[in-house]
Every structure is written in C-alpha cells, then in structure tokens.
Amino acid sequence: MNDNVLSVSELTGVIRHLLTEGIGDVSVSGEISNYKQHSSGHRYFSLKDDDAQIAGVMWKSRTLRFVPEDGMRVVVHGRLSVYPPQGRYQIDVTAMTPAGLGDLHLAFEALKRKLDAKGYFALARKRDLPTLPHVIGVITSKTGAAIQDVLSTIRLRFPIATVIVRPAMVQGDGAAEDVAQAIKEMQGSKAEVLIVGRGGGSIEDLWAFNTEVVADAIYHSEIPVISAVGHETDFTIADFVADVRAATPTAAAMLATPTPVAELLRVVDEYAMRMREAMVDTITELSDMTEEFLQGGRARRLTERIHLYMQRADDLEQRGLTSIRHAIDLMRHRVDHAVVLCTTLHPLAPLRRGFAMIERNGAVLNAASPLSIDDTITLRRAHDVSTATITSTTQQDITEITHGKED
Amino acid sequence: MAKKTDQPTIEQQLKRLEEIAMLLDAGDAPLDEQLRSYEEGMALAKQCREYLAAAELRITSISGDDASV
C-alpha cells in the first residue's frame, strides 16, 4: 500500500477540478433525448450524437423560450460540472436555442441588448394612448386576417373614428423597410394612435418586426404605437419598443378604442338622468316653498283681515249710517291695500318689489338659517348683486312687525 | 380624408353635458337659467345619442405598395 490512496470523494474532487477548470464553459450542439421537466421546474436531459452522449441539466431559474422535445437539434451553452453522489459529469446549461434557428435567435438577442442599452425599451418613454381617438392609423398587410380583425373590432366598438390604412408588406424581402416607411408616412397624417402588426407566424415570418429599421421607426414615431405581432407567446423587438404591446391585432384594436361607444352612450344617459333628477329636485323645492307660503300664517292672516274689513264695511253701509261714510271709505281703502299686499306676496315677486335674497357661500339663506357677526353675505336684488358683512344681529320675529300694532 | 366640420367634438359635448349636470346639481343658479340649461342639456344628450348610434366607421387608405398581395 502506498500513501497515494485517495478516498472516492477526494478523487471526485480532483475530477471535478479537471473538468470545471480545465474545460469549463462550452457550447455544444446535439440532439435532445430523455428530456424531463421535473415538478420542481428543473429540466434534465441528455445531449447526444451518433457516437456519444452527455447529461445536461437546466435549472428552473434559466430562461427557456421554447419547449425542447426528444430528437430536437439544439445548441446549448453552459459549464461542465460534476454530480458527486452519482459520479456523473454533466453540462450546467445556461442557454439553449434550437439549432436551425440559432442564428436568428442570436441576432434577436444581440439587437435586443443593443436597443435596451440605448434606452429604446424604457418604461419612462411609454406614452398613454388617447381615450377617444378621432383617427386611428393601421399598418399591416392589405390581405390576411389581421386587417379584417382590426377593422371589424373598431367598427363594432368605436365607429365614430376614422381609420387610415397604410397597406404594408409584413414578410419577405423589403418588408422591414416597408413597415418602417409606413410608420414614417403616418407621421404626416391626423392619426392619433398607430396599430402596427400582422397575424402570427414562424420566427422567419415575423422577422421584419425584429429589425433595427422598424425599431427605429417606432422609437421615433411622434404618434403612440401599439404593436400587434403574432400570437400571445411571440415577443418581437417591435413589441419591446412600442408604447403598448398587444398580443393580437384584435387586442390592439381594443386597446386603441379604450372607451367604446356603448360606454359613451351609458355616460350620456347618466348625465341626462342627473340633469332630470336635479331639475325635478329644484322644482319640487320651489313648489314646496310656494305651498308653505300659501298655507303659512302670513297669507291666512291677511285673508282673514280682508274678510273682516269687508264685513265691517258692509255692516256700516247696510245700517245706512251716512254719518260714517268716511269710516266706510277708510275701510275700503284698507281692504284694497290688503288685497294688493296679498297679490304681491307671490314667492317670485319680492325681488321686483325691492326685497333682497340673502346668500351665504353660494346657498340661499332661509329665515331659519342663523347669521353671525362677520358673516360675508351676498345680497341678490332684482338687478344687482352686492356683498355685505354682518356687523350686528338682533332676534326679532316677523309676526311682531305684522301684528304688533294690530287693531 | 373625412370632411372637416365645425361640429364640437364628442369630448367637448360630453364636457358640456357634465358642466350642465353640475350646474343643475348645485341648484343655486336663477330658475330661468336652470331651465334654459336643462333644455340645452337634454337637446345635447339627444344629439349625442343620435350621433353615437348612427356613426359608421370611415376607412381611408394611403398609398403603399403591398407587393405581398
């Protein structure tokens, strides 16, 4: 026996050191097999080619933008590691892309990083969309479902708008340039919000919306832009730059018309109802005041006085007492005066007769509202409005004035 | 392009409706002013309803060579 005997753990430690320090970071292409996503969210699989295979693990915390399947060719990036309990070496995968699309994905990630660094995606520059747009600009293919979805949604929700359609190539050579050009052309229109997009498709089909030229056009648009590219799971560079990202063209049309006409009709009805209720309240209040006046003491006492004077005048006349002719005339005069008083006591007449209405803080004061020293009041007369300050008040009931010297 | 008119926009009309509703809610304006505002408000509400109910989407197109079609 010699002294160089190692424990299993010690040997594993040496192997681990050789693998992680000696090889370290790797990019490997291969075919996925035995792919399993554990309930913990971590993914375990093997990567193989015709002659070899190697275990791979991709922790839950790593972002994976697609669902790998057995047999799929992928490129993984990661670091070699060792799992001592099973004496296994494996790749700790940090990123995985489908091999066939690797270039596009790399280009996408590179542009995304570049524009993010330039502040193109900053939340601070996202603009609010107009709540009641008069003109909505739409940039998409003249054919296809997207344009129909957008137009039918706007027609249904918000037919008071005008839609300006700028047909654009949304895929193929020159598509990116055409979409960018369309966004620039819209700047000269009356559009208050732009919908830019197309229906779903493969990453190649959507590529125009992953280009810098389109990102620039959206970034420089004076008009808020809603991106509507593909279906819910497809994010494009255009989505990141746009003020608002919609999952589908239909969703974009809904975002562009946040207050549908049905809602506006409800608002109008609500205002009409409020106005009607307020007017009914006001008229009811006036009518109550008139009723109160007519049933109140002042009117009744005046009527009683008129009747009394009339009766006394009639009595005197019937008795033929000519010597008191003068008394009769006096009595008639008092009756006439009382009648005039009565007719002029109509609730709306006082202002015309020189009386004033008193308001405090915009509200009319009735007799029961107390006034205090230094209160600022408004005197509203038939033809003018004045402001006054109370300097003194004395309690005095109105019946003392009208009745104090009776009979 | 849509024909340009001097019609108040729907926002302006809704704003006016709100002003009138507030004036009537307060209830402290002279009665005849309240009545005039009420008539104006009701006429405006009717006009808005008719406008909203009768609207038809206007679609215009600006040039572009959609070579994909």
Residue keyed to tokens 């809603």: A226
pLDDT over 90 percentage in chain B? 41
Indicate if A244 and A166 belong to the same structural domain. Answer: yes
Q: Give a yes or no: residue A112 inside a domain.
A: no
Q: Where are the beta strands (DSSP E) in A117-262?
A: 135-140, 162-167, 193-198, 225-229, 244-246
In eight-state DSSP terms, residue A207 is G
Structure tokens at A370: 């107390």
Rounded Cα gap, residues A339 and B3, in angstroms: 65
Q: Give a yes or no: residue A238 inside a domain.
A: yes
Nearest to A80 by CA among A31, A17, A36, A37: A17
Indicate if A244 and A308 belong to the same structural domain. Answer: no
Indicate if the pLDDT at residue B35 is higher than 50. yes
Indicate if A135 and A172 belong to the same structural domain. Answer: yes
Least Cα separation, residue A258 to chain B (angstroms)? 14
pTM for this predicted structure = 0.57
Q: 3-state SS of chain B?
A: CCCCCCCCCHHHHHHHHHHHHHHHHHCCCCHHHHHHHHHHHHHHHHHHHHHHHHCCCEEEECCCCCCCC
Residue A204 has what pLDDT?
A: 77
Rounded Cα gap, residues A390 and A369, in angstroms: 14
Residue A86 has what pLDDT?
A: 87
Indicate if A305 and A364 belong to the same structural domain. Answer: no
ipTM for this prediction = 0.84
Structure tokens at A85: 């309990």
How many structural domains compose chain A?
4
Residue A403 has what pLDDT?
A: 44
Indicate if A191 and A147 belong to the same structural domain. Answer: yes
Which tens digits make up the pLDDT trace of A78-134? 999 998 888 889 999 999 888 765 567 777 888 999 999 999 999 999 999 999 999
Hey, are the CB atoms on B52 and A264 less than 8 Å from each other?
yes
Final residue before a domain boundary, out of A74, A101, A128: A101
Q: Order of strands, edge to edge, in the sheet holding A363-364?
A: A363-364, A357-360, A376-380, A385-389
pLDDT under 70: residue ranges of chain A: 1-2, 100-103, 231-234, 287-303, 305-306, 309-310, 312-355, 396-407
Q: Give a yes or no: residue A271 inside a domain.
A: no
The CA-atom distances, in angstroms, between A258 and each of A130, A150, A157, A266 are: 8, 14, 9, 14
Q: Note whether B16 contacts A: Cβ–Cβ < 8 A.
A: no
Indicate if A320 and A398 belong to the same structural domain. Answer: no
Indicate if A146 and A237 belong to the same structural domain. Answer: yes
Which tens digits make up the pLDDT trace of A136-194? 999 999 988 899 999 999 999 999 999 999 999 999 889 999 999 999 999 999 999 99
Hey, are the CB atoms on B25 and A274 less than 8 Å from each other?
yes
Indicate if A177 and A248 belong to the same structural domain. Answer: yes
- Contact between A128 and A224 (Cβ < 8 Å): yes
Test mutation, B4, B9, B12, B52, chain A, max A CBs within 10 A: B52
Q: Give a yes or no: residue A26 inside a domain.
A: yes
Rounded Cα gap, residues A318 and A328, in angstroms: 11
Residue B68 has what pLDDT?
A: 38
Phi, psi dihedrals of residue A195, rounded to the nearest 5°: -110, 120
Q: Could you tell me the CATH number of the domain that includes residue A126? A: 3.40.50.261
Indicate if A60 and A125 belong to the same structural domain. Answer: no
Residue A407 has what pLDDT?
A: 38
Hey, are the CB atoms on A159 and B67 less than 8 Å from each other?
no
**Pair type for strands A25-37 and A73-83:** antiparallel
Indicate if A200 and A216 belong to the same structural domain. Answer: yes
Indicate if A337 and A393 belong to the same structural domain. Answer: no
Residue A336 has what pLDDT?
A: 66
Q: Give a yes or no: residue A200 inside a domain.
A: yes
Per the structure, the complete domain to which residue A402 belongs is given by: 347-407
Indicate if A124 and A253 belong to the same structural domain. Answer: yes
Q: Give a yes or no: residue A49 inside a domain.
A: yes
Q: Give a yes or no: residue A62 inside a domain.
A: yes
Task: Supply angle C-alpha A348, A349, A351, rounded to 5.
Answer: 90
Query: From A264, which residue of chain B is nearest by alpha-carbon distance?
Result: B52
